[in-house]
Amino acid sequence: MTAHAIQLERVRLSYSGKAVIETASCTVRKNAVTAVVGPSGSGKSTLLRTLCRMNDRIPGFQVEGQVQVLGRDIYDPGINVYDLRKRVGMVFQKPCVFPKSIVENVLFGLRFHATINGKNFSERAEQALRDVFLWDEVKDRLDDPAHTLSQGQQQRLAMARTLAVDPEILLMDEPTSALDPKSSRAIEDLILSLKDKHTIVLVTHNVDQAERVAEDLICVDDKTICHKPCHPLPGEGTC
Amino acid sequence: MNTRSLFPERGPAFWGTGFTALIASGTIFILFVSLVIESVPVFKTQGVSFLWGTDWFAGEAYGALPMIFGSLMVTAIAVVLVFPFALGSAILTSEFLNGRLRLMVKAAMELLAGVPGIIYGLMGIALLTIWVRDVFGLIDGNTLFTAGLLLAVMVLPTVMTLSEDALRAVPGEFRDTALSLGLTRMEMVLKVVVPQALPGLAGAVFLGLGRAMGETIAVMLVIGGIDRIPQPWFNLFASGQSIPSKIGREAAEALGFDLQWSALIALGLVLFVMVMALSLAGNLLLRRAR
């Protein structure tokens, strides 16, 4: 059994023939936090979205090479993309809550996948909210509209909604960039607490944040990527 | 003291554009006032019973209810028929077609929206009345249903393009979030995009209905032209009359006959208020959607 959750081999990503990433080969360890850093427009988000095929909808987007996720080439024609997205969840830059209650937001994805009864739904919602340290703040107002929460709380709610589906890999696209420093710290603590159960890939433009939470670093620049441990031992190379 | 003027800049541009805006809004106002003034005689003679009277005999009695009923009925038939098709084609265009194909469909729809009513009317007489007669086994194909069906065809492009705009106005984050949770595209559309776009979709329907309610010539050609409420009232396959078709038929001959003219103008006033209410509701919903 491989210790890698994700493995890229000579991957080229392009929009209508124009390369965003010319060549990428790297691995992501299981149950570790890997940060993807690089300047704006370098293709960090494109790379991340490739890992759960979120770019499929974009006309002209093309992937060459092999993208192995959880042991399978996810661009193989036989792959069920909806199952893949259940196993590889994604949290976006701007917290996006649906115009529903807090609890209905948490259960939104789960309701499409699980064949469990009502009581188990509320247990799953509670567990997901506990996982993101939001339970104590919202347990008395689960039926309130989700947009009444603060931005930081909404981002944690979005994470709870993704976690409720129980993905093995969690992709996060600059999840703290729209938040104040206090809420950002809360998300960072949350990321650290989740890595026991999940493999986390975090895109961030904040190198300090990457060093605080990540074990491994993937640097994206100049249409290519390189890979290094975040806290290198003496004698280990850097990018 | 630092006071703020309501019109901070009063240059020639302000006066020029202000003048044209005044003319535009003043026209609507004058139109409304003249409708009210000209309809006073019929209300003086018959009181408000003009609105719920069921008989219309020129020179004797003027009752507007059959026409009001006819207008509401054909508009209701049109909305029931148009909504599923407009929504379906809007979903296909906004969510499943890409780039050029989407623009081509939109351009075709916008072209269709500009086809004159008389063309639809001729198509209605030549084809629709005959189909309705044969399919439903009627003696005459000129019915409220035929008029509603024709109106549905006429307003489909308008409702469809506005609905498509409403669907596309839903931010991409909602789509991304739904897909990232493992929903299929159809689940995403039905559970996330459509509910988010609902005010805009309703606005599209209301604006389309505004057009349907005011349509004269096409309806006049296929509605049958009989001033009565069908028996029973929900019998869609009876001939009827709508407000614009009534006015269209009688305006030329009524000019100069005081009370009949006034009664027709009063019908126009009723239609004006009904269409304004629909447009207002539609615009409010569209604004909320944006």
| First-to-last C-alpha distance (Å) of chain B | 38
Residue B279 has which token pair? Answer: 């447009």
User: CA nearest A97 in B: which residue?
Assistant: B174
Find chain B residues with C-beta within 8 A of A145's C-beta: none
CA distance B120 to A37: 60
Q: Provide the CATH topology of domain A4-229.
A: Rossmann fold (3.40.50)
pLDDT for residue A228 is more than 70: no
**Quick check: A114 pLDDT over 80?**
no
B99 part of contact set with chain A, CB < 8 Å: yes
CB contact under 8 Å between A92 and B196, yes or no, is no
Residue A95, preceding bond cis, omega within 30 degrees?
Answer: no
Over the Cα atoms of chain B, what is R_g? 23
For residue B195, the chain A residues in CB contact (below 8 A) are: 99
Three-state SS for A21?
strand
Rounded to whole angstroms, the Cα distance separating A14 from A60 reads 8
Please give the Cα distance from A109 to B5 (Å, whole number). Answer: 53
Domains of chain B: 72-289 (1.10.3720.10)
Q: Is B28 left (phi over 0), alpha (psi -120 to 50) or beta?
A: alpha
Q: How many CB pairs under 8 A join A and B?
A: 52
Distances (CA, A) of A206 to A36, A174, A210, B90: 10, 9, 6, 41
Residue B290 confidence (pLDDT): 58
Q: From CA B276, how far away is CA B200, in angstroms rounded?
A: 18
**pLDDT confidence band for B156 (50 / 70 / 90):** very high
CB contact under 8 A, A92 and B180: yes
**Contact A57/B173, CB-based, under 8 Å?**
no
CA A108 to chain centre: 18
Contact list in B for residue A158 (CB cut-off 8 A) is: 177
Q: Judge residue A15's burial from the number of C-beta atoms within 10 Å of its C-beta, 0-12 exposed, 13-18 middle, 19 or more buried.
A: middle
B199 chain-A contacts, CB cut-off 8 A: none
> Are A99 and B196 within 8 A, CB to CB?
yes
Give A172's Cβ-side CA count (13 Å radius).
Answer: 32
- pLDDT tier at A132, thresholds 50, 70, 90: confident
Q: Which residue of A has its CA nearest to B171?
A: A96
What average pLDDT does this structure show over B257-270? 89
- Tell if the CB–CB gap between B180 and A52 is shorter than 8 Å: yes
- Pair type for strands A224-229 and A216-221: antiparallel
Mean pLDDT of chain B: 88
Q: Is the model's pLDDT at A192 over the cut of 50?
A: yes
How many other CB atoms are found less than 10 A from the CB of residue A52?
Answer: 24
Using left for φ > 0, alpha for ψ between -120 and 50, and beta otherwise, residue B187 falls in: alpha
Which residue in the set B99, B174, B184 is minimally distant from A59, CB to CB? B99
Token pair in block for residue B65 = 């209810």
Cα Dmax for chain A: 56
Which pLDDT does position A237 carry in this prediction? Answer: 47
Q: Given the structure tokens 């009524």, which residue do they identify?
A: B254
Contact B181 A82 (CB under 8 A): no
Q: What CA–CA distance (Å, rounded) separates B280 from B282? A: 5
The alpha carbon of residue B7 and the mean position of all alpha carbons in its chain are separated, in whole angstroms, by: 36
Residue A233 has pLDDT above 50, yes or no: no
Measured CA to CA in angstroms, residue A184 lies from A148, A179, B118, B267, B268 at distances of 19, 6, 63, 64, 62
Structural domain boundaries in chain A: 4-229
**Is the CB of B180 less than 8 angstroms away from the CB of A99?**
no
Please report the DSSP string for A122-180 in residue order.
HHHHHHHHHHTT-HHHHTT-TTSBGGGS-HHHHHHHHHHHHHHT--SEEEEESTTTTS-
**Quick one: pLDDT band at residue B265, thresholds 50, 70, 90?**
very high
Pick from A59, A94, A113: CB nearest B182: A113
Query: Which of B138, B132, B142, B120 lies closest to B212 in space, CA to CA?
Result: B120
Q: Is A59 on the interface with B (CB under 8 A)?
A: yes
Q: What is the pLDDT of residues B198-257, one digit of tens each?
A: 888 988 888 888 888 888 888 989 998 888 888 888 888 989 999 999 999 888 888 767
pLDDT at A232: 47
Tell me which chain B residues have a C-beta less than 8 angstroms from the C-beta of A94. 173
How far is the alpha carbon of B168 from chain A, nearest alpha carbon, in Å? Answer: 14
- For the residues B162-169, what does the mean pLDDT come to? 92
Residue-level pLDDT at A2: 63
Substitution target from A56, A92, A96 for chain B, most B beta carbons within 10 A: A96
The Cα–Cα gap between A72 and A129 comes to 31
Quote the CA–CA distance of B267 and B277 in Å, as a whole number.
Answer: 15
Residues 106 through 165 of chain A touching chain B, CB cutoff 8 Å? 108-109, 112-113, 158, 161-162, 165
Q: Min CA distance, A162 vs chain B (Å)?
A: 6
B167's enclosing H/E stretch is helix B144-168
Q: Do B180 and A89 touch (CB under 8 A)?
A: yes
pLDDT tens per residue, range B85-139: 999 999 999 988 887 898 999 899 889 888 888 999 999 999 999 999 999 988 8
Taking 60 as the threshold, does the pLDDT of residue A234 lie above it? no
**pLDDT for residue A12 is more than 60:** yes
- Would you call A86 an interface residue with chain B, using a CB distance cutoff of 8 Å? yes
Average pLDDT over residues B48-68: 87
- From chain B, the residues in CB contact with A83 under 8 A are 182
